[in-house]
């Protein structure tokens, strides 16, 4: 007969075996969910702020709610997640009964059903065809699986690039967060149908260039084909696109194909205001997502425009809608930190202003509830765009010729962490949205004396327009016309191009100097392709630079650019 000690050992051994079996079963369930549905959602207890930040470096955190952390894992995330040795639960994937698909374009455009991919493509082009002077379709790029990423431009002279502020809305960066997709299509139709109503809609269409990208992750939304069945958060490569934008805290991030196209598109425009739409929560989230200790220069302005959006929603919704955190508004990193997010990239790298709008606690909103979400939010969609009318609007020109100048506009005693803006080098126009108050700015550009403009008073919901004339500086002498380089774009992000057709077949050397005259970069033995020379400047700090090009004959050519 075994002694008590032996019995205890047998019991403990059995418990260990059972626990191990349960862990193995849970791991298997995780793999099964991913294989069957393309993703698995897991939940675990909040481990603390710092530890969650470390977890977020390895796997995409979807949300933090009531002491629980939710993550949506693709196949490429599983091993990293299991290496964390967390106690977790797998959330069962419910059949997508709520994702009811329309049978026709006409049915889809009643906006209480989800369109098929074919219907979506037809709707976008139908809007452009029905309103040819107000709407056109542009292609941002293609997804991993070759689906088009489309954008609608809406403006009163849609086929012209006017001197008007450009604004941008994007939805469905996460493919399983569905409602923004339908709401953005409906917003486009609403603007077009009301473009001559004498009210806010007409003012927006007449005075802004509005861009709407209803579906930025088509492979995730249409994971199973032409209809929405078990959509996935990530793209076809398993990449969470809202953790995949370049980030100064994580230089290892390499943007996937959808984000490469999106970045190129946003760089080609000059969006002064934008928003991206999500779900899984109900809150407006403003920068920074990546930094808790850094407060953005425009934190008060960001909070106030988000507050106005949420307060307008509350006037038209049920009592419990969009009341998370500070009654519907939170600074991103206060909620939880992420890296590679789009709103921080746009605000920090592109000098835009972007927020994230979480539209519904339910990611896959039942189709029948889409009209309710529209009624709750459409006034706020319009009101948010209205912010682009206000603040300091202006034009920077050469004081002698009147030609537009690409210049840096810096708010004295206020701007920090890349919050300055630039005027468009082709038009000289700029927009600097600010909270009410009296502000001083400096306007500077290579080859010109810096100009100070003081005492600009901004009042609530008002625009102050200024014209700034810059004069040439005596300390910098422009080279003769035939020795000047034509450089674009100005300002530039990561690359500049030099008009170099006359150097075809010649071996070139290039030197780049900062404003102090210090050599910061040098390249030799360069050759011209397609009549232009591309220079990578991604390693340079933001600022003004002089570039010097020397050909084989020793002739020197110079130019200036802004990064």
Domains and CATH numbers, the chain: 4-91 (3.30.70), 105-386 (3.40.630.10), 391-470 (2.60.40.1120), 481-562 (2.60.40.3080)
Average pLDDT over the chain, rounded to an integer = 89
Tokens describing residue 163:
């001197």
Per residue in 422-438, is it b (16+ CB within 10 Å) or e — as a string?
Answer: bbbbebbbbbbbbbbee
Q: Which residue would you say has higher pLDDT here, 554 or 18?
A: 554
DSSP state of 243: G
Q: Is the pLDDT of residue 556 over 50?
A: yes
Percent of the chain past pLDDT 70, that is, above it, reads: 92
CB 182 within 8 Å of CB 277: no
- Ranked by mean pLDDT, the top range of 265-269, 515-519, 538-542 is 265-269
CA distance 332 to 286: 6
Distance from C-alpha of 155 to C-alpha of 485, rounded to nearest angstrom: 35
Closest to 99 in 3D by CA, of 281, 360, 369, 283: 369
Q: Largest Cα–Cα distance of the chain, in whole Å?
A: 107
The residue annotated as part of the active site, out of 164, 177, 358, 364, is 358
State what percent of residues in the chain have pLDDT above 90: 69
Any idea which residue has 């990578």 for tokens? 536
How do residues 116-163 score in pLDDT, each as one tens digit?
999 999 999 999 999 999 999 999 999 999 999 999 999 999 999 899
Give the integer Cα–Cα distance in Å for 532 and 543.
Answer: 23
* CA–CA gap between residue 341 and residue 232 (Å, rounded): 18
* 353, burial (CB in 10 Å: exposed 0-12, middle 13-18, buried 19+): buried
Question: Is 166 assigned a catalytic role?
Answer: no
Residue 438 pLDDT > 60? yes
Predicted confidence band of residue 14 (pLDDT cuts 50, 70, 90): very low
Confidence at residue 7, expressed as pLDDT on a 0 to 100 scale: 44
Locate all alpha helices (DSSP H) within 38-61, ordered by sequence.
49-58
Q: How far apart are CA 162 and CA 388, in angstroms?
A: 15
Size (the chain), residues: 563
- The pTM score is 0.82
Q: Rounded CA gap, 442 and 449, in Å?
A: 10
* pLDDT for 16: 38
pLDDT at 521 over 90: no
Residue for token digits 């009410």?
Answer: 436
* Residue 218 predicted with pLDDT over 80: yes
* Structure tokens given for 301: 């302005």
């Amino acid at each position: 007969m075994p002694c008590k000690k032996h019995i205890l050992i047998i019991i403990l051994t059995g418990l260990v075996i059972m626990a191990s079996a349960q862990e193995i079963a849970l791991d298997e369930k995780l793999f099964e969910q991913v294989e069957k549905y393309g993703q698995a959602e897991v939940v675990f207890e909040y481990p603390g702020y710092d530890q969650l930040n470390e977890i977020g470096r390895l796997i995409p955190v979807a949300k933090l709610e009531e002491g629980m952390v939710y993550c949506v894992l693709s196949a490429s995330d599983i091993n990293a997640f299991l290496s964390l040795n967390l106690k977790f639960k797998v959330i069962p994937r419910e059949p997508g009964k709520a994702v009811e698909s329309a049978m026709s374009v006409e049915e889809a455009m009643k906006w209480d059903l989800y369109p098929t991919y074919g219907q979506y493509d037809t709707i976008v082009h139908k809007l452009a065809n029905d309103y040819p002077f107000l709407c056109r379709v542009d292609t941002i790029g293609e997804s991993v699986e070759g689906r088009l990423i489309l954008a609608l431009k809406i403006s009163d002279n849609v086929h012209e690039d006017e001197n008007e502020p450009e604004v941008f809305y994007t939805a469905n960066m996460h493919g399983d967060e569905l409602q923004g997709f339908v709401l953005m299509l409906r917003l486009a139709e609403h603007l077009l149908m009301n473009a001559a109503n004498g009210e806010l809609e007409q003012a927006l269409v007449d005075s802004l260039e509005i861009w709407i990208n209803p579906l930025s992750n088509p492979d995730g939304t249409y994971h199973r084909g032409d209809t929405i069945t078990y959509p996935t958060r990530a793209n076809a490569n398993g990449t969470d696109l809202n953790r995949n934008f370049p980030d100064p805290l994580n230089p290892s991030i390499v943007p996937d194909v959808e984000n490469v196209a999106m970045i190129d598109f946003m760089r080609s425009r000059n969006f002064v205001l934008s928003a991206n739409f999500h779900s899984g929560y109900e809150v407006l989230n403003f920068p920074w997502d990546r930094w808790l200790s850094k407060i953005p220069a425009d934190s008060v302005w960001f909070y106030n425009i988000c507050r106005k959006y949420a307060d307008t929603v509350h006037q038209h919704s049920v009592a419990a809608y969009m009341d998370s955190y500070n009654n519907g508004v939170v600074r991103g990193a206060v909620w939880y930190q992420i890296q590679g997010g789009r709103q921080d990239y746009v605000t920090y790298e592109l000098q835009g202003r972007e927020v994230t709008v979480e539209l519904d606690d339910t990611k896959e909103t039942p189709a029948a509830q889409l009209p309710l979400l529209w009624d709750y939010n459409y006034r706020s969609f319009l009101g948010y765009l209205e912010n682009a009318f206000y603040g300091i609007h202006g034009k920077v020109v050469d004081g002698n010729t009147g030609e537009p100048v690409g210049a840096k506009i810096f708010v004295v005693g206020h701007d920090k962490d890349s919050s300055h803006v630039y005027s468009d080098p082709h038009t000289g126009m700029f927009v600097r949205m600010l909270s009410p108050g009296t502000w001083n700015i400096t306007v500077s550009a290579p080859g010109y004396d810096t100009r100070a403009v003081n005492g600009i008073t901004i009042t609530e919901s008002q625009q102050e327009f200024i014209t700034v004339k810059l004069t040439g500086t005596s300390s910098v002498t422009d080279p003769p016309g035939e020795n000047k380089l034509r450089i674009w774009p100005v300002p530039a992000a990561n690359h500049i191009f030099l008009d170099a057709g006359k150097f075809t077949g010649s071996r070139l050397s290039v030197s780049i100097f900062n404003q102090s005259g210090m050599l910061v970069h040098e390249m030799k033995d360069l050759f011209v392709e397609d009549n232009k020379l591309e220079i990578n400047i991604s390693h340079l700090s933001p600022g003004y630079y002089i570039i010097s090009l020397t050909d084989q004959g020793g002739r020197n050519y110079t130019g200036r650019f802004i990064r």
